Structure 1
Amino acid sequence: MSDIHVLLIEDNRTYAQTVGAMLARVSGVERALAGFHLTHVETLSEGLAVLAHGGVDVILLDLLLPDSEGLDGLMRLRATAPDVPVVVLTVLSNTDLAVEAVHVGAQDFLFKTDLHPNALARAIRYAIERQHLTGELQRRTAQLAASEQHLRTVIERSADGVIVLDRAGVVRFANPAAESLFGRSGTDLLGQPFGSPVVVSDKIELDVVRPDGSHAIVEMRVTDIEWGGEAALLVTLRDITDRKRAEEALRASEAKYRSIVEQATDGIAISDADGILVEWNAAMEKITGLQRAEVIGQPAWEVQTRLGADPGKETEAREQMRRSLQQAYQEVAALPPGHKVSSEREIVAADGRRRIVQTSLFPIRTEDGLLLGRVARDLTEQRAAEAEEKRLRDQLLHAQKMEAVGRLTAGVAHDFNNLLTAIIGFGDLLRMKMIAGDPLLEYVDRILAASHSAASLVQQLMAFSRQQVLQPQALDLNLIVRGMDSLLRRLIGEDIRLRVNLAAESARVKVDPTKMQQVIINLAVNARDAMPEGGELVIETGHVSVTDAADEQGVPPGEWVLLRMTDNGVGISPELLERVFEPFFTTKPQGKGTGLGLSTVYGIVAQSGGHVRLRSAPGHGATFSIYLPRCEQPAAQPADAAPGTTPTPAGSGTILLAEDNPAVRDFAVGVLRERGYHVLAAGCGQEALHLLGTYRDAIHLIISDMVMPDMNGPALVKRVLAAHPTARTLYISGYTPEDLAHRGGLATDTPFLQKPFTAIQIADAVRRVLGS
């Protein structure tokens, strides 16, 4: 414990020694307390010099010094060492001066004549203590003042209004922000009632109307405080007008957004950074069958798993979907604004519907982080429409291609018919001239046989091009199939099982029975060749009512009789399906087929008003479905008709023959003249009219080719009939009556002979026309 350093400024040395003795005595007695160390100087100047070195704890000052008098010395000491306490030593006659000294800074005063050691020591210690307390008080007071100034500055500059109310609700303080908020100055506010009831509250809102009529929405908080020693209320006011407007705008924007989202035809979903769904609109409910309440708050991968996982594989699918969505989130997070990632997949909706959905993922950047936006568009109907459009387009292209090939085939068949007419005709004439046993007879028969095979080939071409001559009848298709049972079993062989399932009721159609048999035979042969190791051929008939073309591979709506032939052979690859009906197209080895079997089927069915559809796949056999219009007429019994071979009796009369093909013309002239007819032969219409002009007798029959370079057959016949109205007419052509009718030149009841024809056929036709 250090001694108290006492500086005694006293010009009386004797008195100074007395003071020193007193302090020494006290130090010896009060050992538990700090002792005293005395420094004595006789003048103020010397005292100030000691103070300059520091270390002085207390000053004992005589107010009457050689170089200082009165309070001057005290003032100088306080200025030099304001923290060192001063105790004034004075005589009784200077009491007023001593009291004044305390007022200006001295801690105490002692009378020299009444000085006691203990009183002196106590006065010194108290002076030091009081000086310490006074300094601490001053320091804290300064801090408080500074803090109060800071607080006042904060309040004065605060953007929030601050008002102090007494318990009567009268304004005692208002900062500038409060004045601005209410639109009134402080003098107008102070001393005035606040106006609204005020109670302690956490937060309430007020609508403040300013003197100028403007409004402000204010958020008010009220707390208890003490003001001027009395209970008061601190009211803090925050102008939230802009915030309220922003919130209202946000609510309006959210309502608009919600309306847009809910009215959107595309599904909209949003998930957060953890993959939890936070948005799921009505369109998404419709697409997926999952309601908003079912999915909000659920992980997106859980929901996605419900829309596509195979039964029993949910766990694996869930983990795979979780990884996929995490990867998608990372990819989307790196996308620049306005970009998206799109994909297309099939989902299984909650109600079991399979939907084709296009999904676009895009980032939504917010203050709280990145969200993953998802727009789902149901493309099921669009894809179905596109598939239907493609099917119809392919069907149209296929029909156009077949039509083009048909026109080409018809033209080729017409030219071949002219050639074969001459070959077969002159062959017949040659054979008629030969006697039995003639060694050349065999060659002639071979020529005729080859010519008839060629004619059959041409007939198949014409069947494909729908230009053969049909003789349709109302028949029961069941009877045709049943009547061919034995023939078909021999045709397909014993290693192929034939199973026939016929409709319970009559399957009436209007077809050419011979051509219908050809259709069945061609399909049976095709099935046989597709099952080299054996198998099964199933023939079925039935009735079909088509209401939607898509259900029956594009067959138009209507009532149809169905003939279906199914084999379990090798099947047909997809790339060949569209070509199987093309003429001369075959997958068989060279020499194993003409490629006309299926094209003939196509042509006969199409010419009969029906449709052929094929389903097949490699290793799964083939099914040919033939749709024929249902006929309401009574069915006749099918019967085969064979052309007569009995020689035609001789005839008489004059025939005008117009044929632009010389070989056909010469053959016909030879046959008819041998039968006794007088024939006027012409190579074109104009030549025929010239012959007619020079011939004065009657014309009994006009035989005319339908299509000639300068004048067609009907135009020629019209000119001839004007001069010979009783003449009969027989048209010949390599084209079919149907094709000629389309050309507008042949009436349905007009006698007609299709090329190629034999000598007997043309002779029979002439006899029938002249005899009718």
Structure 2
Amino acid sequence: MRAERRDSILVVDDEPQVLVALEDMLSDEFIVLKSGSAREALELVQTRQDIAVVVSDQRMPDMTGDELLARLGDVDALRILLTGFADLSAVVRAVNEGRIFAYVTKPWDAEDLRLKVQKAAEHFRLSRQLSYERQLLHDLMNNVPDGIYFKDRDLRFLRVNHAFSRIVNGHSPDALTGKTSRDVLAADIAQVIDAEERRVLESGEPSVDLVREYHLPDGSRRWFSETRAPIRNGNGQPIGLVCISRDMTERVATQEALRESEERSRKQSQLLNSILQSMGEGVVAVDRAGQFLLFNQQAAQLLGPGPHDVLPEEWSSRYGILLPDRKTPLDPATHPLLRAMQGEEVREIEVFIQNAGVPGASVAITATPLYDHEDRLVGGIALLRDVTVQRRLERELLHSQKMEAIGRLAGGIAHDFNNLLAVIASYGELVFQELGEGDPHRPDIAEVLAATHRAASLTRQLLAFSRKGLLQPRVIDLNEVVSGLERMLQRIIGEDIELRTLLAPSLGAIRADAGQIEQVILNLSVNARDAMPTGGRLTIETANVHLPPQAGAPAALQTPG
């Protein structure tokens, strides 16, 4: 257990035996410092700020005791004077002037002297503590950003800090002393504050965190949170109150911004849900455990009605997901969404879905992993696109291509076939123009027209080959030709072959017959497909090529385009 800290006292006397006697008497309770002269004592007090009591003899050769104690100045140490009866008049005068705490006559009574030193030391400690607490209050009042004020029972300001004075009038705190809220605030606010403070004084209960708007002297408007509590006397009766006013403007603004942000988020969420539900594609999202986070209406139409609390390993059997042959169940390990849950990005694959709620649909699935804001894998999302109609159109296109092949063999009837195509194209254009922008058949007719134009182009080639027709060369963008064929080529070459196009962004124009160019690309792609029976990658690349002049080369190879 730590020993209680002892106070330091200084005893001053020109007689060494007196100093020894005082030390023996007081050293049990105090740390005793000794000085044999008044001047030495002055120097010691200036260097030792912890001296609680100075006990000095009155008669000393260089300086009297009362003069020494008077010259100590503003130090906190309490003063006790030892004197004979002959010097009592000077001592009494010093006591009356407040220069000494007490005096003891010689010969002293040891118990009386010890008691006076004890009281002086206690007085020193209390004075130091009070000074410390006053400094704390001063620092609190003048350094905190919150406005603080004290009022008496008449609701007049007793003390105000700088922060509060800036709120109400921008002047010094002293200017508010003795005034009321009605003197410095708007009448309506002052009336509310007075009523509130009277309630605090009458009830003896604090009011906590009341938010109020103030109009500051600079014309600005700010919000403050105010807490008031009663101040009580020794009997517990309220004799005044204290108020702490904290600027809440930024917090109020933040709360308002948060409310507005939440409202925007709510509207955005509604918009997102509306978009998801109106999409033509199904959207399915799951967490890492396979629990569904999102399942829009189109996904329900493609996969069938709920429930949707199915384990990932059971998705294929639950939803009747088959390979494109429409017989073999999809291996659960190859399910695109399951692979996305494991961090793999899956490009479009095609499956056939058939169950109690879906009679049969060809569906293309693209899946990608889901990551949170810290780039951690949290699940997967899949896009389901119904390609049933598309596959039917592709079959129709394949049949049309077969017919075109027959037409190439029957070059003698190409002219008549061209006339038939002209009729089909004309009626197709009429039907296309009659269909509205939102008509679901409009894309189908557009595909028919596209197929018709391609067939007409083939007929022109047959006619050109048989010298019955003329080519139609014109300036064309080869990139546009390749892009226009890309979807059809992907269908022709099949799912096992990846189609990749690398189109030069600044490709020069060429002068050629667009139909012939399309047929060249189509023939090359079919040949490439046949050369890759187990799958692979077909790359079509465009680029500007600069050929060096070659002697004897045909003129056509020397001309740009």
The bucket for the TM-score relative to the shorter chain is: 0.3 to 0.5
Which of structures 1 and 2 has the bigger CA Rg? 1
TM-score, structure 2 length as denominator? Answer: 0.47
Identify the structure with bigger relative contact order (alpha carbons < 8 Å, sequence gap 6+).
1
TM-score, structure 1 length as denominator? Answer: 0.36
